[in-house]
Amino acid sequence: MRKICDAIGAYALIAILIVVVVFSGGWLGLTVYRTFGTAYESARTDVYRENKSYVEGTIRDLREMKREYVTASEEHQDALRSLILHRAGELDWDRLPSDVRGFLNELEGE
């Protein structure tokens, strides 16, 4: 009878330890994420924005918006100007092709 009680106690202790490890692991993961999550996500965003495909896609979008800007009415040009400058603000203008950079400088000057 004593052996049965010892076995039940050992199983209960093992079960309690497993529950404690699972919950403390989740808590520890959340604590680490809360502490370093912002820096981690900022680094991921910076890497994404420096990605070649992102930069080239944004340049392509800016060229397309330039075509729309040239053909738009004056009322729509103001909205497009704001949108284009906002979108271009995510990039390093020194790395842009000269045609796009010149267009952006013209928009800023207006």
Model confidence pLDDT, tens digit, residues 51-100: 889 989 999 999 999 999 999 998 899 999 999 999 998 888 888 899 99
- CA-CA distance, 110 to 98, in Å (whole number)? 18
Contacts 24+ apart (CB under 8 A), 94-102: 95/55, 96/59, 96/62, 97/59, 99/63, 100/59, 100/62, 100/63, 100/66
| Predicted pLDDT of residue 94 | 86
Q: CA–CA separation, 45 vs 65, rounded Å?
A: 24
Whole-model pTM above 0.95? Answer: no
With cut-offs at 50, 70 and 90, classify the pLDDT of residue 3: confident
Percent of the chain, pLDDT > 70?
Answer: 99
